[in-house]
Amino acid sequence: MNNQIEQAVVLLRQGKVVAIPTETVYGLAADASNAKAVEKIFKIKGRPIGHPVIVHIADSSQLSQWAIDIPQDAYKLTKAFWPGPLTLILKKARFVPDIVTGSQDTVGIRCPSHPITQAILKEFGGGLAAPSANRFGRISPTSAQAVKEELGDNVDFIVDGGPCEVGVESTILDLTGKNPRLLRPGMISHQDIEKVLHKPVELGGKKIPRVSGALPKHYAPETPVVLISSDNLSHFVRNQLHKKKSLAVLSLQALPFIFKKLSENQLIWHTLPEDAKNYAQKLYEKMRALDYLNRDLMVIEKVPETAEWLAISDRLKRAAHTGAP
């Protein structure tokens, strides 16, 4: 067995906290059946107690250990999308610790596809509670290096599984109500889900329960972020440069000719891929890199308002939110 896998499993069995790679973002994992171990995750992240965490399992056969009253829809979805970036909210089984569920009667469960974490889960045998491996409110890490930058020595071990393939957090679907309801958009879209269930998925609407990713300000860099439409981008950038602002730009377009002569101290311009899947994979890595430059402003070009971009535009809006968290 791979050394990292073995080491991770040993530490997890001892109630320690280990950062693990998933296909979406890196997670900060602990034995989900061990309340004391899960508590350590909250301490390390600086996350308020009361925010539930997702339980990661090896495959859908373990669902019934963590949840009760599981509807047929859950199995249709696990068949279609697991292992993969879809989290299901179900009624929790009695033994699930309160710290995992935020004392709610529901539990979030997901089966990640990253091969290393699959191997860890199989070997470990139980469920792993794991929020994203960032400090509370910050951008999720999509590489082992980013976890190190976020958490330093506060975590017992970081498993390096390379860059994450999906790049934004899993889709969260609540299956405990009358109709399936999307709590957090992800790269599996509500339309993908509707195709499998042959019924409509409700989008938000009702007051969302304690989903920390649903706080207005989340996934935010320290640099102030503004979202600017494609048509206004050059104009906006020029105006800001006139005001002597130093800028970092994330755009779908190549660097416009008019800015080619500017120095890197004035303007850093990164171009992201034009398709949603490749854009998502790179987004957090780029935002993180630009944040480190400590510019006056991070300017991000708005993305299309179509279903396949929904997860991305959701994260961008949160990053740009300047109100109180």
Is residue 202 classed as helix, strand or coil in its secondary structure?
strand
Q: Does 170 bind ligand TXA (CB under 6 A)?
A: yes
Beta partners for residue 110, in sequence order: 56, 87
Specify burial of residue 55 (Cβ count, 10 A radius: 0-12, 13-18, 19+): buried
Q: Does 51 bind ligand TXA (CB under 6 A)?
A: yes
Q: Does 251 bind ligand TXA (CB under 6 A)?
A: no
Out of 4, 24, 78, 142, the only residue in the binding site for ligand TXA (CB under 6 A) is: 24
Interface residues for ligand TXA in 55-114 (CB under 6 A)?
85, 87, 89, 101, 104, 106-108, 110, 112
CB of 304 to ligand TXA, least distance (A): 23
CB of 211 to ligand TXA, least distance (A): 4
CB of 214 to ligand TXA, least distance (A): 6
The secondary structure of the chain in percent helix, strand, coil, rounded to multiples of 5, reads 35, 20, 45
Q: Does 32 bind ligand TXA (CB under 6 A)?
A: no
Residue 132 tokens read as 């994203």
CB of 216 to ligand TXA, least distance (A): 13
Note the helical H segments in the chain: 3-13, 35-45, 63-66, 72-81, 98-101, 115-124, 144-151, 190-197, 233-242, 276-291, 310-320
For tokens 């649903």, name the residue. 214
CB of 235 to ligand TXA, least distance (A): 36
Specify burial of residue 51 (Cβ count, 10 A radius: 0-12, 13-18, 19+): middle
Site for ligand TXA, rule CB under 6 A:
22, 24-25, 27, 51-54, 85, 87, 89, 101, 104, 106-108, 110, 112, 130-132, 169-170, 172, 183, 209-213
